[in-house]
Chain A
Amino acid sequence: EVQLVESGGGLVQPGGSLRLSCAASGFSFSDYWITWVRQAPGKGLEWVGNMNPDGSDKYYVDSVRGRFTISRDNAENSLYLQMNSLRDEDTAVYYCARDGRPGSGFRAFDIWGQGTMVTVSS
């Protein structure tokens, strides 16, 4: 079964750090871009950033650039999101999603994990 499973969420104080993981199975992880999307409680979806298959390229939304870092370990079929200097407004469910293969022309998020909740509060 093709799936993504996020972990690592929890409660953290403002200014603190947290590392999320996204474990992939059922497909060739190292062939795909993978993306992080977040959803604040009761709000819409916000793209956070993504990384290319070999980890040499990554992009972020302005609101997290310089605070969040995406990395991956293709040997472990895993993507990570290191979140530093966390703010109240980072409180959200964080989803990882499969983002397409280079050269395929397909950029849709076709597989999503169930998400992991991050709460930033004192």
Chain B
Amino acid sequence: DIVMTQTPLSLSVTPGQPASISCKSSQSLLHGDGKTYLYWYLQRPGQPPQLLIYDVSNRFSGVPDRFSGSGSGTDFTLKISRVEAEDFGVYYCMQSTQLPKTFGQGTKVEIK
């Protein structure tokens, strides 16, 4: 199974400041079809996860442009240019290149 490792596991951020989360996979996420199936989700307390980024760097419909994803191979990053109150929660990376689909441990982003 591909192991997804996120760092840091928690992050305290002042609203208006940037934030960055790293996700490393134990194997390359480059699929034989040339795509990299790496996703980012945000889960707010008491809510199901919601999709933010698909295929490494594509923002899902309705996701603000302060969110950006980057990376390739085994190293990926989610950046928030200026954190807002609605951005607090737990962020998960997930790979869908190989079964079983696997998630990172989650990074809790809290208000400083």
Residues of A within 8 A of B (CB): 35, 37, 44-47, 50, 59-62, 95, 97, 105-110, 112-115
27 contacts across the A-B interface (CB closer than 8 A): A35-B101, A44-B104, A44-B106, A45-B92, A45-B94, A45-B106, A47-B94, A47-B100, A47-B101, A47-B102, A59-B99, A61-B100, A62-B100, A95-B48, A105-B35, A106-B54, A107-B37, A107-B96, A108-B54, A108-B55, A108-B60, A108-B96, A109-B51, A110-B51, A110-B60, A112-B49, A114-B48
Q: Which residue of chain A is the closest to B101 with respect to CB atoms? A: A47
Q: Is B70 in contact with chain A by the CB < 8 A criterion?
A: no
Q: Using A59-B99, A105-B35, A108-B39 as known contacts, say yes or no to A115 and B105 having CB atoms under 8 A apart.
A: no
- The docked-state distance in angstroms from the alpha carbon of A122 to that of B35 is 46
- Type the 1/0 row for B82-102, where 1 means its CB is closer than 8 Å to any CB of A: 000000000010101001111
Q: Which residue of chain B is the closest to A63 with respect to CB atoms? A: B100
- The docked-state distance in angstroms from the alpha carbon of A109 to that of B54 is 9
Return chain A residues, CB-CB under 8 Å to B49: 37, 45, 95, 109, 112
Q: Is B67 in contact with chain A by the CB < 8 A criterion?
A: no
Contact between B102 and A108 (Cβ–Cβ < 8 Å)? no
Q: Which residue of chain B is the closest to A113 with respect to CB atoms? A: B48
- The docked-state distance in angstroms from the alpha carbon of A96 to that of B110 is 27
Return chain A residues, CB-CB under 8 Å to B35: 105
Q: Is B33 in contact with chain A by the CB < 8 A criterion?
A: yes
- The docked-state distance in angstroms from the alpha carbon of A95 to that of B41 is 14
- The docked-state distance in angstroms from the alpha carbon of A106 to that of B104 is 20
- The docked-state distance in angstroms from the alpha carbon of A46 to that of B102 is 7
Instruction: For chain B, residues 32 to 85, give those with C-beta under 8 angstroms from any C-beta of chain A.
Output: 33, 35, 37, 39, 41, 43, 48-51, 54-55, 60
Q: Which residue of chain B is the closest to A4 with respect to CB atoms? A: B48
Q: Which residue of chain A is the closest to B100 with respect to CB atoms? A: A61
- The docked-state distance in angstroms from the alpha carbon of A105 to that of B36 is 10
Q: Which residue of chain A is the closest to B103 with respect to CB atoms? A: A45
New A-B contacts (11) at CB < 8 Å, excluding given A44-B105, A60-B100, A115-B48: A35-B101, A44-B92, A45-B49, A47-B101, A97-B48, A107-B37, A109-B39, A109-B41, A109-B51, A110-B54, A113-B48
